[in-house]
């Protein structure tokens, strides 16, 4: 059967070029970078070259890049590390209700440890209100953590403005850019971002590697203590192969963001239009313009997302409903609720996220099947029955 | 981690050994820190005509000793006094930051030997007045918290 | 030039069988295990099969095994997770002075956060004193963290007895078994161990994956918060390939521990004897019997370890001096100081750790070169000069 993978916001398939660069570090180049003999020195060199690539892709200095085990660890480190290191200054953190759980659950945990957290709401498109942010800052505020772009609805926040506000108030600013890297131009040197999280597997690199950018001079505790790797700030024997893979992946993802976005957006806009044309009672979630190039998120009234996903899977189409990273939970997505969707509409959401391996022709297959499936499920739905009756 | 020059001086150290009838002997460092450097000088008419060293220490300590001996051989006392650890490190095409103290040791071993010479021979070396080699010149990498 | 890798305690070369099992998860099997479509379900299955293998190798239940990014994260999680979850009960932790930095630096950090830590000393062979341990336990003690086997000198602690003491006193017992797995039979179900850390790259698996065993019912906080992976206890998109690799690696490493140890010990004992025979002024560090099968750790008087390592590297031999995991620091090893070695003897230490890929013939090469190098360095040493003079 045809397989159409449309869940690139959950994870991506690794690019061949990335895997090829990693392979030597699974075989002959196995030395521990901390050691002084040849095979160790070569590993060290590979790690530092990968770090350079990450730095270059973000307009940062190599010494500001720290490798982690993924976006989640980066988020945990940034938020907890700053919280604990600055608790003599204050105990207040500002974030948003639509963050990824990696930030949200970390904040919930910190609340139990005596920190106070303000969760900013968002408007119907998923944007925060800058005035509200400014008002939320108080003397005790030590950190603002606001995601660059949302993983579910794709909304991109006004990061430059947020940075300016944070800087003016002398508060650290962390942004979870896991979804933004490769889709948005990022130039950290000319930004007011103090910390930025990213992850390899969202940009055609391996799963289980990420990085945290920490601007020089930022007061932050290490999160994982131990050996002196990563300049004494992130302990643990280096995952050389994945670091190399992340370096290659980010290099490729940022080589021509504009050109790349144009292609992806053409597919995205075509998909949105065709769904709008072919299926009624649908609603596009997220911001109409300020959204990630590959993100399509629709609510289909009267039906439930899991049933939709299962039906799509039966014809080989992979999508997601709510956050794929957390779909162990069946609660309607906290992001969709935050933009004001009623529960029943939130439940009927479908995210199709377009990636580098998708083609125009696949989208035809998706739309045809989707229309059919939605109709079939609606025919089973007592809610739809009522609406039909009213018509 | 090390330059080719360092590795060259480490593997083929110049002037290793002792001078039985040395005019000045300097020993600096301590075994606790993993480094002891001992310099032997033969001085004639204010010129270092021979120099030998022995070192207990890491690769860069051995290379620094070797380089220092090369740099002072045939030089006048005045010229020898001008030898700095930075010059030794530069002559080796650089040392890793954590290893700079090894070159400090080399500079101090040379000065200690000169001081010893001055005491033994009665030749005054005013530049060395008050010179005392540091016990602990170790300056390890910054630990960021 | 001949290359002889004798630093298997620092890291090992991955086995081909391990890499082979991992490969599909770098290519076609890239689905996110949290998703419900086919390629996601297959990833999920692979993760759970890997977990079964880890559990089986340790005599544990699969649901007691949590994947982490390595031994260091496992140690951080166990120690911090128990500390924070039980701080209403007490704030006292007991560990030893010879732990890996992953435990030691974590404890140092917790001291700054208001916890109290007792660091047990060890005897000249690196063993703790059980009576001393018992005496150290007080009402406020919530955790004992003592490593199974030491990474530098190979000494194996009396883990069963420590477990009994901990259990009798109602204190949690964590052991860092990163070096022990594959060399010591471990049967967690019939043990008093509450938590156990392990790492993939020490047993011919990949670098950047580990696991923490958490006995059912143990009160411990999550360490990395976020998505609901690992039953809500360790967030982050799963590193499926490495989990599969760890499963295969531990399966192979524990298939026939006795037979395997016999072979490795024959090599080890031969190496120890030949060094003793050929080189004078040497001292074997660690316990004569209670030591890891592959561990050889000698001090060579009058010379310094780094010079020794560099010289060995020039003839293609890879060894380590002090802990290779932390060799960014130039301080003499805390373990060697703890067993009472004077600083200058600790400086002259060399660890040669034997692994599955080493051969008898390689050892000949090592001993011949080592004898020559030690002599050459001694001839340069002012300390040796004195001894020779005294003879
Ligand atoms: C916005 C966002 N932040 C954080 C994460 C977590 O990253 P990782 O899966 O690498 O832990 C994800 C995806 O899982 C994400 O989409
Ligand atoms: C005893 C011990 N504990 C913990 C670790 C850390 O494990 P990892 O390198 O996987 O973080 C190591 C080795 O590095 C070790 O030898
Ligand atoms: S309908 Fe089954 S989970 Fe709600
Ligand atoms: S002799 Fe101490 S590091 Fe060079």
Interval A98-130: pLDDT, tens: 999 999 999 999 999 999 999 999 999 999 999
The reply to whether ligand 4 has any atom less than 6 angstroms from the CB of B60 is yes
Sign of CA dihedral C320, C325, C328, C330: negative
A75 C-beta neighbours (distance < 10 Å), count: 36
Q: What is the mean pLDDT of residues A164-173?
A: 98
CA–CA distance, A164 with A144 (Å, rounded to integer): 12
Quickly list H helices, chain C. Answer: 16-22, 38-58, 71-85, 101-112, 130-136, 159-169, 229-232, 240-253, 257-278, 305-314, 334-338, 343-347, 360-379, 382-390
Sorted by sequence, the CB contacts under 8 Å of residue C277 that are 6+ apart come out as: none
Q: Note whether B58 contacts C332, CB cutoff 8 Å.
A: no
CA dist A323 to A95, A305, A326, A327, C229, Å? Answer: 18, 11, 6, 6, 13
pTM of the model: 0.95
Structure-block tokens of residue B44: 């004639």
**CATH, domain range C16-254:** 3.40.640.10
Domain that holds residue B29: 4-121
Residue C282's beta-bridge partner residues?
C300
| Measured distance CA(C14)–CA(C204) in Å, rounded | 4
Catalytic member of A142, A159, A177, A325: A325
Give partners of C (≥3 CB pairs < 8 A). Answer: A, B
What band does C350 get if pLDDT is binned at 50, 70 and 90? very high
Q: Residue B113: which CATH number?
A: 3.90.1010.10
Residue A307: Cβ-neighbour burial (10 angstroms; 0-12, 13-18, 19+) = middle
Q: What is the pLDDT of residue C330?
A: 55
The total number of structural domains in chain B stands at 1
C183 lines ligand 2 (CB under 6 A): no
Within 8 A of B27 by CB-CB distance, chain C residues are 382
Q: Is B33 tagged catalytic? A: yes
For residue A202, the chain C residue with the least C-alpha distance is C237
What interface predicted TM-score (ipTM) does this complex get?
Answer: 0.94
> C34: closest CA among A212, A10, B62?
A10
Residue of A237, A238, A239, A242 with the most ligand 2 atoms within 8 Å of its CB, for mutation: A237
**Topology given in CATH for the domain delimited by C256-389:** 3.90.1150
Predicted confidence (pLDDT) at residue C326 exceeds the cutoff of 90: no
**A56 burial type by CB count under 10 A (0-12 exposed, 13-18 middle, 19+ buried):** middle
Percent of chain B with pLDDT over 70: 92
Contact residues, chain A to chain B, C-beta under 8 Å: 36, 41, 85, 221-222, 228, 231-233
- Whether ligand 2 lies within 6 angstroms of the CB of C210 is answered as yes
With an 8 Å Cβ cutoff, are A232 and B143 in contact?
Answer: yes
Instruction: Decide if A36 and B1 are in contact by the 8 Å CB cutoff.
Output: yes
Phi, psi of C68 (to 5 degrees): -135, -175
Give the Cα separation of B35 and B32 in Å (integer): 7
Encoded tokens for C36:
């419900």
DSSP B34-78: TEEEEEEEEEETTEEEEEEEEEES-HHHHHHHHHHHHHHTT-BHH
Q: Phi/psi of residue C94, each to 5°?
A: -115, 130
Token reading at C138: 């007080």
pLDDT of residue A391: 60
Lowest-pLDDT choice from A77-86, A313-322, C81-90, C213-222: A313-322
Residue C275 DSSP code: H
CA gap A382, A302 in Å, rounded? 8
**Inter-chain CB proximity A208 and C7 less than 8 Å:** no
- Beta strand A172-176 with A195-199 is parallel
Average pLDDT of span A46-69: 98
3-state secondary structure of B141: coil
Burial of C130 (0-12, 13-18, 19+ CB in 10 A): middle
Predicted pLDDT of residue B31: 72
Alpha-carbon dihedral sign for residues C29, C31, C32, C34: negative
Band of residue B134 on the pLDDT scale cut at 50, 70, 90: low
Rounded to 5°, angle at Cα C281 from C279 and C284: 85
Give the gap in angstroms from C-alpha C391 to the nearest C-alpha of chain A.
Answer: 35
Ligand nearest the Cα of residue A157 is: 1
Tell me if C227 and A3 make a contact (CB, 8 A cut-off). no
Is C76 close to A238, i.e. CB distance below 8 A?
no
Tell me how far CA of residue A109 lies from CA of A22, A67, A115, B24, C109, in angstroms.
36, 24, 9, 67, 19
Chain C CB contacts of B18 under 8 Å are 385
Which residue CA neighbors atom 4 of ligand 2 most closely?
A: C71
Closest ligand 2 atom number to CA of residue A235? 11
Interface contact A13-C32, CB threshold 8 A: no
Whether residues A233 and B1 touch (CB distance < 8 A) is answered with no
pLDDT over 90, % of chain A:
91
Mean pLDDT value across chain A: 95
In this prediction, residues C285-299 reach a mean pLDDT of: 97
Mutate to test the interface with C, among A42, A78, A232, A239 (most CBs of C within 10 A): A239
B58 lines ligand 4 (CB under 6 A): yes
Nearest ligand to residue C179 Cα: 2
DSSP sequence for C176-211? E-TTTBTTB---GGGS--SEEEEEGGGTTS-TT-EE
Contact residues on chain B for A33, CB-CB shorter than 8 A: none
Domain ranges of chain C: 16-254, 256-389
- Which is the catalytic residue, given B33, B47, B58, B128? B33
Cα gap C249→C14, rounded to integer Å: 8
Beta bridge partners of C212: C66, C197
Residues A133-155, mean pLDDT to the nearest whole number: 98
Is A238 in Cβ contact with C35 (below 8 Å)? no
pLDDT digits (tens, 9 = 90+) for C210-269: 999 999 999 999 999 999 899 999 999 999 999 999 999 999 999 999 999 999 999 999
C217 is written with which tokens? 């019912």
For C202, nearest residue in chain A (alpha carbons): A237
- What is the rounded CA–CA span in Å between residue A337 and residue A315? 29
C71 labeled part of a ligand binding site: yes
Residue A69: CB partners within 8 Å, gap ≥ 6? A208, A209, A210, A239, C69, C70, C73, C208, C236, C239
- Alpha carbon of A236 to ligand 1 centroid (Å): 21
In 3D space, the residue among C240, C353, C233, C359 whose CA is nearest the CA of residue C294 turns out to be: C353
Q: What is the best residue among C11, C14, C69, C71 to mutate for testing ligand 2's pocket, by most ligand atoms within 8 Å of CB?
A: C71
Place of tokens 């373990």: C335
Which residue ranges of A are tagged as binding site for [2Fe-2S] cluster? 325
Catalytically active residues of C are 325
Q: Rounded distance, CA B142 to CA A233, Å?
A: 11
Crossing angle for the helix pair C240-253 and C38-58, to the nearest 10 degrees? 30
Ligand 4 binding pocket mutation candidate from B2, B100, B102, B104 (most atoms within 8 A of CB) = B102
**pLDDT at residue C328, as a whole number:** 46
Pick the atom of ligand 1 nearest to A209's CA: 10
Separation between Cα atoms, residue A201 and residue A205, nearest integer Å:
5
A277 Cβ neighbours under 8 A, 6+ residues apart = none
What pLDDT is attached to residue B35?
84
Are the beta carbons of B145 and A85 separated by less than 8 Å? yes
Pocket-testing residue among B99, B103, B104, ligand 4, by greatest number of atoms within 8 A of Cβ: B99
Q: Give the pLDDT score at C232.
A: 94
Residues of B whose CB is below 8 A from A230: none
The minimum-distance atom of ligand 2 relative to the CA of C207 is 10
When pLDDT is cut at 50, 70 and 90, the band that residue C377 belongs to is very high
Q: Which residues of A touch B145 (CB under 8 A)?
A: 85, 221-222
Residue of A nearest to B141 (CA): A231
- Indicate whether A365 pLDDT > 90: yes
What is the band of B34 on the pLDDT scale with cuts at 50, 70, 90? confident
Is it the case that residue B137 has pLDDT exceeding 60? no
Task: Grade residue A326 by pLDDT with cuts at 50, 70 and 90.
Answer: very low
Distance CA A308, CA C24 (A): 28
Cα C335 to averaged position of ligand 4 atoms, centre (Å): 19
What gap in Å lies between CA A106 and CA A111, rounded to an integer? 9
Chains that touch B (3 or more CB pairs under 8 A): A, C
pLDDT of residue A184: 97
Q: Do C16-254 and C256-389 come out as alike in CATH topology?
A: no
List, as one string, the DSSP characters of C367-391: HHHHHHHHHHHHHT-HHHHHHHHH-
Rounded mean pLDDT of B46-74? 96
- The finding on whether A176 has its CB within 6 A of some atom of ligand 1 is yes
Ligand 2 near C206 CB (within 6 A): no
Out of A3, A35, A324, closest to residue C32 by CB: A324
How do B35-44 and A116-120 pair as beta strands? unpaired
Residue B133 has pLDDT above 50, yes or no: yes
What's the gap in Å between A152 CA and the centre of ligand 1?
Answer: 11
Q: What are phi and psi of C236, to 5 degrees?
A: 125, 140
Span between the terminal Cα atoms of chain A, in Å: 38
**Beta strands in chain A, from DSSP E residues, in sequence order:** 4-5, 65-68, 92-96, 116-120, 141-145, 172-176, 195-199, 210-214, 282-284, 295-300, 317-318, 349-353
Report whether pLDDT(C374) > 80: yes
Q: pLDDT tens across A205-261, in order?
A: 999 999 999 999 999 999 999 998 999 999 999 999 999 999 999 999 999 999 999
C76-105: burial string, b at 16+ Cβ within 10 Å, e else? bbbbbbbbbbbbeebbbbbbbbbbbbbbbb
Q: Return d(Cα A128, Cα A97) in angstroms, integer.
A: 10
Place of tokens 């070029």: A17
Which residues does chain B have within 8 Å of residue C380's beta carbon, measured at their own beta carbons? Answer: 13, 16, 54-56, 62
The enclosing H or E element of A153 equals none
pLDDT at C322: 65
């Amino acid at each position: 059967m045809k397989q159409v993978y449309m869940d690139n916001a959950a994870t991506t398939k690794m690019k061949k070029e990335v895997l090829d660069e990693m392979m030597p570090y699974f075989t002959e180049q196995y030395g521990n970078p901390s050691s002084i003999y040849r095979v160790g020195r070569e590993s060290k060199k590979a790690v530092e070259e990968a770090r350079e690539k990450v730095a270059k892709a973000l307009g940062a200095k190599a010494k500001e890049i720290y490798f982690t085990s993924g976006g989640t660890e980066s988020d945990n480190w940034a938020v907890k590390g700053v919280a604990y290191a600055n608790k003599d200054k204050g105990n207040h953190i500002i974030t948003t209700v639509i963050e990824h759980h990696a930030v949200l659950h970390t904040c919930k945990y910190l609340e139990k440890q005596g920190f106070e957290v303000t969760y900013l709401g968002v408007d119907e498109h998923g944007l925060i209100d800058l005035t509200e942010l400014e008002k939320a800052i108080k003397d005790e505020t030590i950190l603002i953590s606001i995601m660059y772009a949302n993983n579910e609805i794709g909304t991109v926040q006004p990061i430059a403005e947020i940075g300016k506000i944070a800087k003016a108030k002398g508060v650290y600013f962390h942004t979870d850019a896991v979804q933004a890297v490769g889709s948005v131009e990022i130039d950290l040197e000319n930004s007011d971002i103090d910390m930025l999280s990213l992850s390899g597997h969202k940009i055609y690199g391996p799963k289980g590697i990420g990085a945290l950018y920490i601007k020089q001079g930022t007061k932050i505790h290490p999160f994982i203590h131990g050996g002196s790797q990563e300049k004494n700030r992130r302990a643990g024997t280096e995952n050389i192969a994945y670091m190399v893979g992340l370096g290659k992946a980010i290099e490729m993802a940022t080589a021509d963001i504009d050109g790349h976005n144009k292609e992806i957006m053409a597919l995205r806009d075509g998909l949105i239009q065709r769904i709008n044309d072919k299926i009624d009672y649908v609603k596009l979630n997220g911001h109409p313009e300020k959204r990630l190039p590959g993100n399509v998120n629709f609510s289909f009234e009267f039906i439930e997302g899991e049933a939709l996903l299962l039906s799509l899977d039966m014809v080989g189409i992979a999508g997601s409903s709510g956050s794929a990273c957390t779909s162990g939970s069946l609660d309607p997505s906290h992001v969709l609720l935050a933009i004001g969707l009623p529960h029943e509409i939130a439940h009927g959401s479908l995210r199709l996220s377009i990636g580098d391996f998708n083609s125009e022709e696949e989208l035809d297959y998706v739309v045809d099947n989707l229309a059919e499936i939605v109709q079939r499920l609606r025919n089973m739905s007592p809610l739809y029955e009522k609406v039909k009756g009213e018509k | 981690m090390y330059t080719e020059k360092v590795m060259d001086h480490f593997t083929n150290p110049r002037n290793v050994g002792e001078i039985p009838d040395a005019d000045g002997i300097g020993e600096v460092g301590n075994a606790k820190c993993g480094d002891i450097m001992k310099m032997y000088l033969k001085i004639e008419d204010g010129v270092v005509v021979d120099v030998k060293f022995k070192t207990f220490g890491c690769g860069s300590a051995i290379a620094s000793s070797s380089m220092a001996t090369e740099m002072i051989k045939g030089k006048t006392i005045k010229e020898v006094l001008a030898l700095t650890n930075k010059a030794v490190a530069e002559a080796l095409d650089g040392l890793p930051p954590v290893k700079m103290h090894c070159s400090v040791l080399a500079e101090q071993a040379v000065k200690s030997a000169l001081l010893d010479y001055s005491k033994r021979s009665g030749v005054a070396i005013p530049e060395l007045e008050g010179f005392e080699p540091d016990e602990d010149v170790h300056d390890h990498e910054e630990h960021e918290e």
